[in-house]
Structure 1
Amino acid sequence: MPTETEGGEIQRSRSRSRSRSCSRTAEQGLDEVIAAQVIEENRSSNERSRLSSQLQRRITAESTLSSSRSYRGLTEVEAPLPAPSVEHEDSLEHEIRVSNASEAEFRTEEKNKAEREMGLLTSKQRKLRSWHRRLFKIGDIKETLLWLILFSIFGVLARIGLISLESYPGKSVDGLVWVQFIGCLIMGFLSETKDMFALNNGRSLQLYVGLSTGFCGSLTTFSSWMKAAFLAMANAEPHNPRPRGYSVLGLLDEIILTLCLSLGGIKVGAHVGLLLRSSWTKLRHKDNDNSGKGNASVKLGFAIASGYKVLTGLKWLALILGVGCWIGAVLMAVFIDKWRGKVLFAIVFGPLGTITRWLFSRYLNPMAPSFPVGTFTANIFGTSLIALFSIAQQRIENRTGCQVLQGMMDGYCGCLTTVSTFALELQTLKRKHAWRYGAASVICGIVIMVLTLGVDHWRFRELTEQSC
């Protein structure tokens, strides 16, 4: 039997043991609470850093949309947007993107869909469908060329018509200046509405290439601009009695006015495109909210009606209109004598110039990151050709030959060179690269005109306006 003293000692020992265990439990609980707080703080820190990085990436992405940022060997179809949205409500426009399905997946889907359709047909219908597909198979490159042919004809007709409309007595500005402005206005609009021509599979319609490269590129012309600037400097066509110093002012007037209106046209068209995209996006959001689909199914433009039948219909439309209009132009040039020199030969040779420029842009522009070699080559080459054709036209006496040369200048050279792409590239290049590219293009164009057309004008015979 333990004594009373021993019992008190045992009780105190047990009490100390319980207090130590309670303190250890409290310490463990406190450690767990602290560890949980640390983990939560780490999670919050990671979340904040993730959100910060996403915000930084978004700011960087939106900053690349602004003018004078970066140039990555872009073609006129892939150029970045020249006028970014500044309203927070319009930020949804930059977040709506089509899916990034690969080309191989799209081809497989088309093939499977075609096989399912073929399984529902009779044997005779399957043979007829297979024969049609083999005979009229149109690839992307062929479809692009067909759209380029069609819209280059429209571009030439629009350019000739606008110049004739602005050739009134007592005009204050050359009609070619307004042609450049309208072409750049449409190009700026198309650059901001490219998503309207995107399909669900991430591809862009070749129709967009026809509108931008074909129509806008053919409507505007760099070679005729350089020729008009030289004529203003040389005081020819028409000749006005004035001191030579005013000819320098005439050269500067032609260059500065065209450049300012072209760059302004790009900006105005881009902002109109932003307004349309914003209105369209909000309308689609409203429709999806009313139908209960939410914002995930928002689509733009052709993405609403994308599908095999739509793509096939567009290819057939390009084939019929492109080839048909070009053949019709050739036949009219052969059998109709009245409009040969003014219009017909120009729309016959125009598609060839557009296709040449598209090839230059496609294969040469990616060569240099800060200097679009393809556009520069097309513009300088076309300027050289129009100078040589003008010299030859001064010496030819055959009326048909004069009409062919006029058609080559208005059609081939006019479509081979472009101001709309030139102005868009000036907006998207970095500032020093834009100055270098713009100065090199204009100076080389004027120098070529002086060395060819100028030598002939000042040394051999004065330039006179030819009426074919």
Structure 2
Amino acid sequence: MESSSARSNNTSERNRLDYARSVSMDSAGHSLGARSGSILSRRSSRQGSRGSISLSREMGDSILSSMRHSLQSADQLLGDVDSSVLAQIIDSGDRGLAFEEEEAENTFDGNNSQGTNVVAPVPAMETKDINANGAASSSIKAESYKLSCVQDYASYLIHLAVFGFFGVFTRYGLQKLFGPGCLALTSDQSPLYLDLPSNMLGSFLMGWFGIIFKADIRHISDHLIVGITTGYMGSLTTFSGWNQKMVSLSSRGHWVYAVAGIVLGMFIVNESITVGAETGERLRAWILKCIREKSSIGSRCDWEHWRVDTRTKHFVLLAVMLTLLSLIWILSIVLAIVKVHSLADGAVLWLGCSVAPPGVWLRWYLARLNGGGIGVGKQRHLKWLPVGTLAANVLAAAIMAALAVTAKAENTKRSTTVRNGIQLGFLGCLSTVSTFAAEVYTMRRSGQIARAFVYAAATFILSFVLGTLIYSVPVWVEHY
């Protein structure tokens, strides 16, 4: 028990010094290499066991950091890691929580599945509550740890839902701003589809917060970075709406517009995340320069008091986010009922917000498949493929096509409003372009050009073919 407590204290101390290390590492390339080497050595020493989420996140942050500095360092680092790691860098869903729960059960039972002792990754807020003399029994500690995991899980869900609301609001506003009713730059009749501005903005922000600033924000709160990337930017962008617009164009015979919309849209979002990563890196370098200059004149920038590393801070943040979730969700449901009944303006928006959280949660849950490969047991292949993101986008595209063809059969104003609300909220949040673009960008930057092309092509082909079979074929047969 003393050994476990010491290891936990050492881990907590390393986490508290993580931001300071990142500053020094960015000023010297050899420090980054040393860090990457230490991570790889620790990973190889635990190759026979199931690694905790802290190791996976540290590995992911190291790969993203090496990608920022040079392509060669990324190739060297990726050459020594399992191919499944790259697929989990952007979003691993609740896979890590599942690993932590399993490790907790094995640890407090005294052995893991292979009969070797392991140390469970105790959260920082939990280590302060463990009795130093080890007087508490293993069963009590196990129950306390499981309760902490449940609270952690609930906190993730709350953050995802709140930031998902903000994503829906932003996407709806951009549709109105750039659509036919205002600037008239996007429409359903051209390759510049309605959701293109939100996909561009979300991909640009993903370059900032999902790649460049990810480790820095995670130092403050892991729930916050999941809320920003998976919750907000994942809900701000939508793949299903993009795919359905191209399927609709092709069903009317505008195949050139449909192909142009796919090719042009992919090029634009790829450039958006590239520009986001490049500008984010320059912004981060400027911030670090300012911090170093202030430190040199005696002014110290202390970020530790912002870190959510105590139970009190965690519950205060959780209470604020839970209050926001309750207010926004209840307001959305009430306004959706009233406005859908009267078919008033805003019915689509509030109905979309009412069904948005389940879409975000399902996408986050599916993200646990990333890095798992395809197959059963040890016969798993394509571990480099982000299966969870692929499944979420293809599933949302198929459901949206089914709703669209249903609306053709029953073309009333109320049914159209309900369909648009579900598409805006649930399906818009279930599918994502920002995560998809970040995964393609990560593969390209790490030198895996062929895999990036295969992943992008598989996403578009599967979604477009399913959309054609579900939507276009009935439209052609029934002459809607």
TM value normalised by structure 1: 0.67
Deviates more, 1:421-430 or 1:303-312: 303-312
Contact 1:75/1:361 (CA < 8 Å) preserved in 2? no
Aligned residue identity for 1:215: Y
2:322 equivalent to 1:347: no
Deviation at 1:321, TM superposition (A): 0.7
Contact 2:91/2:367 (CA < 8 Å) preserved in 1? no
Of 264, 271, 283, the match for 2:271 = 264
Distance 1:364 1:227 in 2: 25
Matched ranges for 1:283-298 at <5 A? 283-291=290-298
2:450 equivalent to 1:438: no
Aligned residue identity for 1:270: A
What is aligned with 2:218?
198
SS of equivalent residue, structure 2 residue 266: helix
Distance 1:439 1:397 in 2: 33
- Taking a change above 3 Å as real, the CA distance of residues 427 and 400 of structure 1, as seen in their structure-2 partners, is same
What is aligned with 1:390?
404
Distance 2:315 2:35 in 1: 41
Matched ranges for 1:64-463 at <5 A? 64-65=67-68, 70=78, 72=85, 73-74=87-88, 76-77=90-91, 103-104=121-122, 106-111=124-129, 139-168=151-180, 171=185, 173-191=192-210, 192-199=212-219, 204-235=221-252, 247-291=254-298, 304-308=306-310, 309-336=312-339, 337=342, 338-339=344-345, 341-367=347-373, 368-396=382-410, 399-429=413-443, 430-462=448-480
Distance 2:409 2:299 in 1: 73
For structure 2, the residue ranges without an aligned partner over 5 or more in a row are: 1-29, 39-61, 94-118, 132-146, 187-191, 374-381
Contact 2:248/2:472 (CA < 8 Å) preserved in 1? no
Contact 1:152/1:354 (CA < 8 Å) preserved in 2? yes
Deviations 1:146-169 (A, max 9, x none): 111111111111111111111137
Contact 2:393/2:431 (CA < 8 Å) preserved in 1? yes
Higher RCO, 1 or 2 (CA under 8 Å, sep at least 6)?
1
- Taking a change above 3 Å as real, the CA distance of residues 290 and 305 of structure 1, as seen in their structure-2 partners, is farther
Distance 2:414 2:159 in 1: 30
- CA-based RMSD of the aligned residues comes to 3.4
Deviates more, 1:137-146 or 1:429-438: 137-146
Identical counterparts, % of pairs: 24
Deviation at 1:269, TM superposition (A): 1.3
Distance 1:138 1:314 in 2: 16
SS of equivalent residue, structure 1 residue 370: coil
Quick check: which has more Rg, 1 or 2? 1
Distance 2:357 2:327 in 1: 13
Contact 1:189/1:269 (CA < 8 Å) preserved in 2? yes
Aligned residue identity for 1:146: I
Distance 1:175 1:216 in 2: 17
- Taking a change above 3 Å as real, the CA distance of residues 54 and 404 of structure 1, as seen in their structure-2 partners, is closer
Deviation at 1:373, TM superposition (A): 0.4
Deviates more, 1:400-409 or 1:261-270: 400-409
Distance 2:370 2:91 in 1: 14
Aligned residue identity for 1:331: V
SS of equivalent residue, structure 1 residue 353: helix
Deviates more, 1:392-401 or 1:160-169: 392-401
- Taking a change above 3 Å as real, the CA distance of residues 64 and 193 of structure 1, as seen in their structure-2 partners, is closer
Aligned residue identity for 1:356: L
Deviation at 1:284, TM superposition (A): 2.1
Distance 1:54 1:341 in 2: 55
Aligned length: 352
Deviation at 1:57, TM superposition (A): 5.0
SS of equivalent residue, structure 2 residue 129: helix
Contact 1:426/1:438 (CA < 8 Å) preserved in 2? yes
Deviation at 1:400, TM superposition (A): 3.9
Aligned residue identity for 2:230: T
Deviation at 1:324, TM superposition (A): 2.1
TM value normalised by structure 2: 0.66
Distance 2:462 2:390 in 1: 10
Contact 1:221/1:419 (CA < 8 Å) preserved in 2? yes
